[in-house]
Chain A
């Protein structure tokens, strides 16, 4: 069983977003890290900092030993920060996907967009658990 936290929003592509006022913290889910297995690299270009990206836009990729997957932004917003600790030690996304393994922080443009995301119950159904 994968861990699905109640207070987060989820995408079908297995990203999560935690909302703290108008800041959104984005990462990949426990299910995603289990599927990927050993994560070895996050390919996220620093040039996206201060840029405004749209909901569903690709902002980088994650590489594991046997596979790679693109990363998509759950909602539109300006990228504020990339988790430097994760970039230098990608394994923390395996160890603590909802905590230390966060990927980036954004300034959410329109909170209405959150409504189109999955809640924890929907996401559990989505991954069949």
Chain B
């Protein structure tokens, strides 16, 4: 057992130093609570303060997180979330808000959302942004529903959504949930959308293209304008998956090249905790002709007054109330701290860090499947190590032994033994160098003692888990 449950430390009558003597009248609980609502089997835990502290400190030590070291999980943009975000989002004026309060009582909160929308519009070149979708995939689904409603109103029956094989992994699921049919578009030898395959699959049946740019290989689609023109020629729309926005803030605006609708991941690009660390936010930005279809309500301003606006064309709500407001505060703080110049630098350093890492790893013998230059992330192929019976999974596990979080593995599917690395701009050069030296060490181990890698991890709280069994015998409820 790694760490017992708090309950297991509990003992009746244990000394505790944090509860004083009871100074209110004792009441018989059976007399004040109805019988049918009383739990007979419930036992209060009795532990001392030091036991509680040690329990949670031990648990936190068992965990690996960004506050401990590098977390180069490709396409997830696990950047450092400035602690000031937490401070601002804990202001009393924010935490005591209630979503059912009247407009006139929450003008400050509405102002924050209105300004956040303004920043996102400026960054993306979109005409309006709905903050409501509470996660990235929710933003994708919202966008698909908006497109569906748009074509319904136009009385056009379009069922197909095109998705490049280098796109973000959640896209096909969002498309299917929205009732469309996916059609995969192949990549060419440069790792970009194959224009011939795109043209072959275009028709009046196509509702939209879902494109991730830069794609999950980290490659910027240099033909993005041509691609969008092709779609528009057939009356189809272009949705951009904004998961990789960290690569081009203040440098490129999707709206300027003709993207019709896109989503943002506030929790990736704009530094709010995610990956188990907190709820996300996946706002959707759209061009004016799609704006009425965005979720209700929208936040508008008249004179000095902020208000909720409801459009009857809207697809309705995609989250309770207005989305994850606490996340908006953190993203807003980050945007105000950086300004547009800071954001541009953020993207530049993110690209620089990734390219430094790629170059150095290539120098020591690792290689990318596609040789095209990349932006904020890149995908190694570890297929060469199969001659030693070593797979990407083994190398990922061995990294854990050296206090590095493993990159995303086996995605995108077009790269054999894929290893997707995104260091982000917040990783110092020293930490990048440490990661490089660890990779070098593992490479040597594979040659000299492959079993060491094959059987990794050795130093983690738990050893290799039986992921196959977990997948085959999935237990999703507590009995």
Binding site for B on A (CB under 8 A): 37-41, 63-67, 89-91, 94
Question: Which B residue's beta carbon lies closest to that of A68?
Answer: B413
Q: Are A38 and B413 in contact (CB under 8 A)?
A: no
With known contacts A66-B410, A67-B413, A37–B471 Cβ distance under 8 A: no
B residues within 8 A CB of A90?
Answer: 472
Please count how many residues in chain B sit with their CB below 8 Å of the partner chain's CB atoms. Answer: 9
Which residues between 445 and 479 of chain B lie within 8 Å of chain A, taking CB atoms? 467-468, 471-472
Q: Are A91 and B472 in contact (CB under 8 A)?
A: yes
Q: Are B393 and A40 in contact (CB under 8 A)?
A: no
Cβ proximity bits B379-421 to A, threshold 8 Å, 1 near / 0 not: 0000000000001010000000000000001100100000000
Question: Which B residue's beta carbon lies closest to that of A39?
Answer: B468
With known contacts A66-B409, A66-B410, A41–B472 Cβ distance under 8 A: yes
A residues within 8 A CB of B413?
Answer: 67
Q: Are B471 and A40 in contact (CB under 8 A)?
A: yes
CB-defined A-B contacts under 8 Å, sample of 10? A38-B467, A38-B468, A39-B468, A40-B471, A63-B471, A64-B468, A64-B471, A65-B468, A67-B413, A89-B472
Q: Are B472 and A40 in contact (CB under 8 A)?
A: yes
**Bound complex: CA A38 to CA B393 (Å):** 12
**Bound complex: CA A67 to CA B409 (Å):** 10
Binding site for A on B (CB under 8 A): 391, 393, 409-410, 413, 467-468, 471-472
Which of A67, A89, A94 counts the most chain B CB atoms within 10 A? Answer: A67
Q: Are A41 and B391 in contact (CB under 8 A)?
A: no
Question: Which B residue's beta carbon lies closest to that of A63?
Answer: B471
Question: Which A residue's beta carbon lies closest to that of B413?
Answer: A67
Q: Are A91 and B468 in contact (CB under 8 A)?
A: yes
Question: Which B residue's beta carbon lies closest to that of A94?
Answer: B468
Tell me the dominant secondary structure on chain B's binding face.
Answer: helix
**Bound complex: CA A62 to CA B410 (Å):** 15
Shortest beta-carbon distance, B163 to chain A, in Å? 14
With known contacts A66-B409, A67-B413, A38–B391 Cβ distance under 8 A: no
Q: Are B391 and A65 in contact (CB under 8 A)?
A: no
B residues within 8 A CB of A91?
Answer: 468, 472
With known contacts A66-B409, A66-B410, A67-B410, A37–B472 Cβ distance under 8 A: no
Shortest beta-carbon distance, B89 to chain A, in Å? 36
A residues within 8 A CB of B468?
Answer: 37-40, 64-65, 91, 94
**Bound complex: CA A49 to CA B21 (Å):** 73
Question: Which A residue's beta carbon lies closest to that of B391?
Answer: A37
**Bound complex: CA A20 to CA B410 (Å):** 37
Which of A38, A64, A67, A91 counts the most chain B CB atoms within 10 A? Answer: A38
**Bound complex: CA A90 to CA B413 (Å):** 21
B residues within 8 A CB of A64?
Answer: 468, 471
Q: Are A38 and B410 in contact (CB under 8 A)?
A: no
A residues within 8 A CB of B467?
Answer: 38, 65
**Bound complex: CA A89 to CA B469 (Å):** 11
**Bound complex: CA A94 to CA B471 (Å):** 14
Q: Are A66 and B393 in contact (CB under 8 A)?
A: yes
Q: Give 5 new A-B contacts, CB below 8 A, not counting A40-B471, A41-B472, A91-B472.
A: A37-B393, A37-B468, A66-B409, A66-B410, A94-B468
B residues within 8 A CB of A94?
Answer: 468
B residues within 8 A CB of A39?
Answer: 468
Shortest beta-carbon distance, A92 to chain B, in Å? 11
Question: Which A residue's beta carbon lies closest to that of B468?
Answer: A38
**Bound complex: CA A120 to CA B410 (Å):** 28
Shortest beta-carbon distance, A125 to chain B, in Å? 17
**Bound complex: CA A4 to CA B413 (Å):** 24
**Bound complex: CA A122 to CA B260 (Å):** 47
Please provide the 8 A-B residue pairs with the shortest distance between their CB atoms, ordered closest to farther. Answer: A38-B468, A40-B471, A66-B410, A65-B467, A40-B472, A67-B410, A65-B471, A65-B468
Question: Which B residue's beta carbon lies closest to that of A70?
Answer: B184
Which of B391, B393, B467, B468 counts the most chain A CB atoms within 10 A? Answer: B468
Shortest beta-carbon distance, A113 to chain B, in Å? 25
**Bound complex: CA A63 to CA B470 (Å):** 13
Shortest beta-carbon distance, B393 to chain A, in Å? 7
Q: Are A41 and B471 in contact (CB under 8 A)?
A: yes
A residues within 8 A CB of B409?
Answer: 66
B residues within 8 A CB of A67?
Answer: 410, 413
Shortest beta-carbon distance, B380 to chain A, in Å? 15
Question: Which A residue's beta carbon lies closest to that of B471?
Answer: A40
A residues within 8 A CB of B472?
Answer: 40-41, 89-91
**Bound complex: CA A65 to CA B409 (Å):** 11
B residues within 8 A CB of A63?
Answer: 471
B residues within 8 A CB of A38?
Answer: 467-468, 471
Shortest beta-carbon distance, A33 to chain B, in Å? 12
A residues within 8 A CB of B391?
Answer: 37
**Bound complex: CA A39 to CA B467 (Å):** 10
**Bound complex: CA A41 to CA B467 (Å):** 13
Question: Which B residue's beta carbon lies closest to that of A35?
Answer: B416
Shortest beta-carbon distance, B389 to chain A, in Å? 10
**Bound complex: CA A39 to CA B472 (Å):** 8
Shortest beta-carbon distance, A87 to chain B, in Å? 11
Which of A39, A64, A65 counts the most chain B CB atoms within 10 A? Answer: A65
**Bound complex: CA A90 to CA B393 (Å):** 21
Question: Which A residue's beta carbon lies closest to that of B474?
Answer: A40
**Bound complex: CA A67 to CA B392 (Å):** 13
Question: Which B residue's beta carbon lies closest to that of A69?
Answer: B413
**Bound complex: CA A37 to CA B396 (Å):** 15
